[in-house]
Structure 1
Amino acid sequence: MTSTLTPAERAIVNRAAKRLIPFMALLYFISFLDRVNVGFAALTMNKDIGLSASAYGFGAGIFFIGYFLFEIPSNLIMKKVGARVWIARIMISWGILSACTAFVTGPASFWIVRFLLGIAEAGFFPGMILYLTFWFPKEVRGRVMAGFLIAVPLSSALGAPLSTWLLGTSIFGMKGWQSMFLIEAVPALILGIAVLFLLPDGPRDAKFLSADERATLLAVLEREQGEASHSSLKAGLASPTVWRYAMVYLGLVAGLYGFSFWAPQMIKSLSGLSNVQVGLLSIAPFALGAAAMRYWGGRSDRKGGSAWFLVAPAVLAALAFFAAAFSPDPAITFALFVVAAIGINAALPVFWGRPAALLTGAAAAGGIALINSIGNLGGYIGPFAVGWLHDATGSYAAGMVALGGGLLAAGLLTTLDARRR
């Protein structure tokens, strides 16, 4: 793919990426950790507060119902008041509610706190995706998306041993899972305050760039706005392509969270490992998923970002889940979990590069939030389906087939959309 950026323009883009992406990835790392640490807490919490598999799956997933309801309004508010203030508000409120999870006493209180946590965090992820479009032209978005989204697998890879270790600790006489929720909520509160000082609203406010560099970057981005298919809010929300992207993302997210929330219990069921051993073993799928995300996002940029770069990893993950459901050997099943995690994580940065290139202005604020809100219903469907099917069958096999079906549907829908175009 021939670059449309001059060497000087590319140098400015790279400078912005080095300044912003590591901090944004850290924010998302904490965000993802605070939503999936419940999967590690479940190793002991479920018994303590009387949660069945389906009750846990419902509570883990209900987070995304609150997320769904408030996502589009949150993104539109962020575009109006600015990223700095709004992202800080989101982080501080979700940190408080994440800490409140330490005090749940049964299914009802668990469900309520998870629902409110989803409301508090609504808009953070699509806000970050929208924010990236304020700074980076589309030909580098696969790479910068991967740099940001790498927080997803890393939060599970690094959070796994941390969370399972915290299960064996106690502060203020609390149980381990309660201590874990309290301790892991603290970074969100601290970073929420840091956002007010470290995250500029956009290139015009970037003190780390000179006046000439800011003008050059803004000119590059304005040049691209004329190439976008939709710019008004109405056009973005009404676009059939946006709704197709939402359906594709739903399949990807069902696989992502269906596995992330249940991976500790799935892995423990293979051979009766201790909680600490489960945490250590959980590093492999997510660490390799992080490496795949980084590699595949960059490769997609270099090759022009065709639909194949999204279809291939989604189908790979689907086939891995199908095979894992019927594998009689625990070692092979675990290896297939690793392959599934690689496929899911490799697909994510490629996916988000596509709608970001289609939308601009108010259409980007509304359209990206719509895609994420509809797609994140998969975060409810995936975990709940795994839990319900486990209660019904006594096994995780049917749940793996369900997750694979969602990923396969995402790949097929992407293929059909590409042919229609």
Structure 2
Amino acid sequence: MADAITMRMQDRGTITHFISGRVSRAGDCGQSPLPSATRVNVLIRIVSVLEGVMLRAVMLSGEIGTGESARTRIAWRLLPFLFLLYVANYLDRTNIAYATLGMKGDLGLSDSVFGTASGIFFIGYFALQIPGALLVERWSAKWLLSLTLVIWGALTTLTGFVRTPVELYGARFLLGAAEAGFFPGVIVYLSHWFIYQDRAKAVARFMSAIPIAYILGGPLAGVILRVHWLDIAGWRWLFLLEGVPAILLGIATLFVLPDRPNEVRWLQPNERDWLTARLAEERRAKVDVAQVTVWQALRHPAVLVLTAGLFFCYTGGYAFWFWMPTMLQRLTGWTDVQRIGWVGAIPFVAGLIGMLFLGWNSDRTRERRWHFAIPQLTAAVALSAWFLAPHSNALLIMAFTLVGFGTVAYLPSFWALPSAFLTSSAGAAAVGFINCTASIGGFFGPKIIGDLSQRTGSFHGGFLVMIACWTIASLLVLLCPRERSAQLSA
């Protein structure tokens, strides 16, 4: 930058000579020549203005280059590791879906008990989300995330020793409580490192770990469930082995994740200064509106409607995610758990592709509601086909693939909606409120499916509940009030 500024300053003589010639020729053309003193003052002012413009342009160019390099370096340093942590999170959260293929017989679990055990996770999860986010903000992100990982890894491992339904309920409840602070904590952590315009993209990359966890988890579970090392059942090994990575990653977190930009050496001083200044500027901007818009946001009709929409979305989505392996086993008659694991990964491959494509297209078109509704309605229509077409394994796999697409692909579009009508600080509060409240749907969905299956001996009633949930979620989001942020920030 210094060389560029020097070059611009060397051009001063050229600029002065050019303007001086133009002013002098004005007299030759019959116009009244300016007095010498006035001419000099005019030249000085014009040259000063031009030099100021060029200097600001050069400085702005250098600042943009610094900002781009800082943003790129941060993304490559932090997001891959956070992505890995979230994969471990979802593996431990949902491995009960495959473990039940073996544990139901060993523990004598009914469908109702399994549905309750799957969903009770979200009771503990709901209770401790907000305290976890506050601890990241006021204490230390790396220490909280590290402790969270170690504790939930240990609890996952201990789940392998349960002997009764009550013990399973307790293990799942505690696991939910242990994992509660992770997602909101990471969202707060990202706000310490990513400027506002990069935050949504960072969250989208982070959340792509959800379908990846299912894609990896199904085949992996199929392999582990077939082993009986030391005369221990495969489902117990599934919990024992999948809890270990979380413990190791929790220890690694202390050494890999820094709390704040001023702690790291891999940022250049000018990059660190640029990031610190931008984040401080954003915080100052939020202070001016936070006291008004945050409270308005939590009572805003659109926020309440979106919360209800996501509640129904989670109710149907988690019902499918937890029950899909059991549905595959019963509706196809397959007994090979490895085959169930591989086929169970297919819906989430479709979900991952849909998430990436619809997220990109939603940003390109700046449309959110239909990008949410179309996946949800696709899932509802696909599951409806089970009632209308002749039953076959091919139809079931096709329907489940479209359901997997519908229950994953909506995520980026939905989480972009709050910022469409709320200021940044209010949007952050709304995201926390929506996710925390709607997560209760993760309890009701699996439990309702289990209770209906227990009473009727089929999944038809459960299918109807999921279809209704996805249809209601779509309608709620499509009909959500459309208000701009200016109305709230006034």
Q: TM-score, normalised by structure 1?
A: 0.90
Partner Cα separation in structure 1 for residue 337 and residue 282 of structure 2: 50
Partner Cα separation in structure 2 for residue 335 and residue 406 of structure 1: 20
Instruction: Name 1:338's counterpart in structure 2.
Output: 401
Q: 1:43 to 1:230 in 2, by over 3 A?
A: farther
Partner Cα separation in structure 2 for residue 392 and residue 269 of structure 1: 16
The amino acid across from 2:447 in the alignment is F
Instruction: Name 2:314's counterpart in structure 1.
Output: 253
The runs of 5 or more residues in structure 2 that have no matched partner are: 1-62, 485-490
More moved, 159-168 vs 220-229:
220-229
More moved, 373-382 vs 350-359:
350-359
Relative contact order higher in (CA < 8 Å, ≥ 6 apart) = 1
Q: Indicate which of 74, 89, 96 corresponds to 2:154.
A: 96
Instruction: Name 2:53's counterpart in structure 1.
Output: none
Instruction: Name 1:177's counterpart in structure 2.
Output: 235
Q: Indicate which of 448, 465, 473 corresponds to 1:385.
A: 448
Partner Cα separation in structure 1 for residue 241 and residue 220 of structure 2: 11
Q: 1:195 to 1:231 in 2, by over 3 A?
A: farther
Partner Cα separation in structure 2 for residue 378 and residue 100 of structure 1: 26
- Deviation track 1:322-365 (CA, whole Å, cap 9, x = no partner) reads 3335442331121111111112211112222334674656x677
Partner Cα separation in structure 2 for residue 121 and residue 309 of structure 1: 29
- Deviation track 1:156-192 (CA, whole Å, cap 9, x = no partner) reads 1111111121111234432111111000000000001
- Deviation track 1:260-319 (CA, whole Å, cap 9, x = no partner) reads 111111112232221111011112111221122122222222333532222222222222
Q: 1:181 to 1:213 in 2, by over 3 A?
A: same
More moved, 318-327 vs 119-128:
318-327
More moved, 370-379 vs 346-355:
346-355
Instruction: Name 2:328's counterpart in structure 1.
Output: 267
Aligned pair 1:307/2:373, yes or no?
no
Aligned pair 1:280/2:342, yes or no?
yes
The amino acid across from 1:254 in the alignment is T
Q: Is the 8 A contact 2:88 2:245 kept in 1?
A: yes
The DSSP-based 3-state class of the residue aligned with 2:154 is: helix
Q: Indicate which of 455, 461, 471 corresponds to 1:398.
A: 461
Q: 1:22 to 1:42 in 2, by over 3 A?
A: same
The runs of 5 or more residues in structure 1 that have no matched partner are: none
Report the CA distance between 1:10 and its aligned residue: 4.2
The amino acid across from 1:324 in the alignment is W
Partner Cα separation in structure 2 for residue 196 and residue 332 of structure 1: 48
CA RMSD of aligned residues (A): 2.5
Instruction: Name 2:209's counterpart in structure 1.
Output: 151
Partner Cα separation in structure 2 for residue 66 and residue 302 of structure 1: 38
Report the CA distance between 1:13 and its aligned residue: 2.5
Report the CA distance between 1:140 and its aligned residue: 4.2
- Deviation track 1:86-143 (CA, whole Å, cap 9, x = no partner) reads 1111111111111111111121111111111111111211222233333334544443
Task: Work out which of the two has the higher radius of gyration on C-alpha atoms and give 1 or 2.
Answer: 2
The amino acid across from 1:353 in the alignment is A
More moved, 206-215 vs 185-194:
206-215
Q: 1:44 to 1:78 in 2, by over 3 A?
A: same
Query: Percent identity among equivalent residues?
Result: 37
More moved, 405-414 vs 126-135:
126-135
